[in-house]
Structure 1
Amino acid sequence: MRVSTRTAAATVFPAAALLAGPSMAVPVGPLLSHQAALALDGAATAWILTSTALVLLMTLPGLALFYGGMVRRKNIIATLAHSTAALAIVTVLWFIAGYSLSFGTGPASINGFIGGFEALLINGVRIDTAHSLAPALPEMLWIAYQLTFAIITPALIAGAFAERMKFSASLLFFGLWHLIVYAPICHQVWGGGYLGSMGVLDFAGGAVVHVNAGIAGLVCALVLGPRHGFGRDNMAPGNLAYTAIGTGLLLVGWLGFNAGSAWTADGIAAAAAFNTILAAAAAALGWMIVEWIDHRRPTLLGLLSGLVGGLVGITPAAGFVDPKGAFLIGAISGPACYAGAVWLKRALKYDDSLDAFGVHGVGGIVGALLTGIFATTAINPVAEGATVLKQAIGLVAVIAWSGVGTFVVLMICKYTTGLRVTKEQEIEGLDYTQHGETIHP
């Protein structure tokens, strides 16, 4: 599970013998400071292998289809390309430096703000080493599982700048943002940094993934400005069937996202899995009810968006709360995300194309704060000492780092590749003008 410090991790999982399933000791040679001797737990390894595949599924094809169906037909290919490019760029950068900057704890790490350089190019990692945060898993698997979280986070941001950012700018943005924004925040919360050490709880990515991406999306929307015709032209989704399929894939993949963050196949993983499904359902109903009252009819897009809002809201709390807490988090997250995606955007007149901030930013903030209320030691002993104040301090730190870092990255892109396509290219559509491809009728 995501815990506050490496010491806490060792307390919860002091040895492979405490984990479910058979284990076997593997001889190891000299290890780096961030590594521990591997005592392999077969059941845990099998579950995290499965979870890695499930979380990877969330980006491709899950998020790609979810976002692709919500844009206009002339921009579907370009939107699918964002998720694909994010996967490719982040994977290579994770190998080069991202993993070390996120989870390294060597002498080059800086006061709990960012990791060290000892694992650049995955240096020192072998099939018989383990990270000290997950001593029962092969470190190669730990690296792969954490990579899937790093991949989907910048891909989520693309929902805010869809239909108007240059593809070249998005490539540079994904790479710089991963190193400048994601890696430090990941280290600060999950990798032994100062936020985790002070007791900020984030079971599976409410702050690291969703608030981080949501705030970045809001900054992108404000810096790029609205799409041409925003508020005037019909910008209805081009294919809601794609969005429905993508949502289903996200729901299934989210079980690896949340239940996988228990890092073993145990009761906490089971609670996280059930809590995830329950909160998503409660949020979908909550969004639908508010939308029905507000617009006098429920929509499929609303149900799908509410379901995702519930998944976002439960993410920081999934392995810390009981089902009653999960239900309340979902029931609150659905209407809160509706307010963020509809009322707030309408009031402030910014163009967050696919509601990256309205769903992921708002849902992540709501879920993180409610974790401080509903976390219980009856589910997870790490929940002891959880408070709303600690959660709020963590959120302020993540929001500040993400907001400032994202603005810096956008300015670099602006003065190198440029940010936006031309008005003529935007009107014609990014599928053809950026990729030379179209979806035929």
Structure 2
Amino acid sequence: MSQRSLGRVTVAFVAAALLLAPLTAPESADAASTTPPVIRLGYDVYEGALSPNGDGSQDNVRIRYNLASRSDVIVTVRRNNTDRTVVYRKKLGRLSGGVHAWQWNGKNPRGKPVRDGHYYAIFVADQVARAGKTSRSAANVFVDTYFNTKWTPTLSADTVYPHTTLTQDRIGVTLNNTGDDPMTELGQVVFSVKDASGHVVATSRSFDYRPSDYPEGAPIEFRGTDFKKNYPLPAGTYRLQYAVRDAAGNPGPAKAVAVHVSDKPLVEATGSVVAPPTRGSTTPTDTTGGRDPQPMPCGTVVPSEVYAEPGAKSFRSSDTCGPWYTSLAVAGGGLALDTLTPQVAPRGLRSTWLSMRGKPTVAGESDTARLFVNGIGYSNDTSHPDGTSAPVAGETVTTTPPTKRPYEDWVSGIYKRSLSWSIATLGTDSYDVADITVHYTYLTPQP
């Protein structure tokens, strides 16, 4: 987790010692100038937010900048509106080359706080004794004195198993804040754990909740342990309470969510199930090759005449497509493992692999079929199958390597309990598939 403090916002600027390309900041260098600029501004997108309301939290913004040489510097703050309203201007004087800092308290020259909104802090530097070398650039500044951020804590699961020895069990929490607008972005977060009596049994350190740091909603993990000693908490129901501030440091209302801590460890279990090779109807859209509508079938998937098993299929590709289309017969299948409920497998699948039983349609031929875990993509790319049947005339069992999933796939709050596949023949091959066996492992609470 990021541990950057939000106590004082700092905007860092990069030195410019060489000839610089035209800046893309809101205020660019004078178009008439053909000489190198003496200052270049860039800033950390996390920073630039302040709340000048006197509560002692981010009441100022501190901006650092680096001058290439001795320069006269003026800073102007203007509102991001159609009128470009100027709210502050100050001559910073003749400054030597190197790093300097300017601090703004979000107030105009009369000492009144400016309105909430988006501003630009524009720095103009005129290099002394070298006429014409002027650079102008700007940094974003957001003034925000009220907490108006939408957020809701959500758990990926409702129970955690801290006594598990196979791995460190944990559940994920997202605060459901998009963070796409600095005026509504969450900043500092602290969460505490309360027992059934309301007593605080653990408290986290404060951290910055930045969605861009943690894609998929900025997850926070809870392991069901004491934060200091990492001991498992006693079994029972707890409340995770979150105290938050927005990016400008304004405090928001606390919210809580219930979670259960179990005294049972998770142990590994295995299973398998036999399924037909395809699901549903095999329409021409499912069974012909290429992306575009084709003038004639390039491959078909029909009921098998080789196998009597229910749902057995014959995959018959063809070379009648011509040079612009793929000679392909393909259809997909899938299986939802309904027995793996959250009570049985609270973390979903841990690993899976497939076995395809089949043989060439024509006796004595050595045609093959390809097996793809999770199906074939939009482009019908069959160049990387997960398994290919052996080129022999008799029956073979084609098994894919195990697909190992991260134990905690909780970033999106979805634990996988199903899988899909595709089977395909290429060229002039024809292959019959009797069935697919799905093998899987999962973690389940110890009885």
Q: Same fold (TM over 0.5)?
A: no
Higher RCO, 1 or 2 (CA under 8 Å, sep at least 6)?
Answer: 1
The structure richer in helix per residue is 1
Question: Which protein has the larger Cα radius of gyration, Structure 1 or Structure 2?
Answer: 2
TM-score by length of 1: 0.19
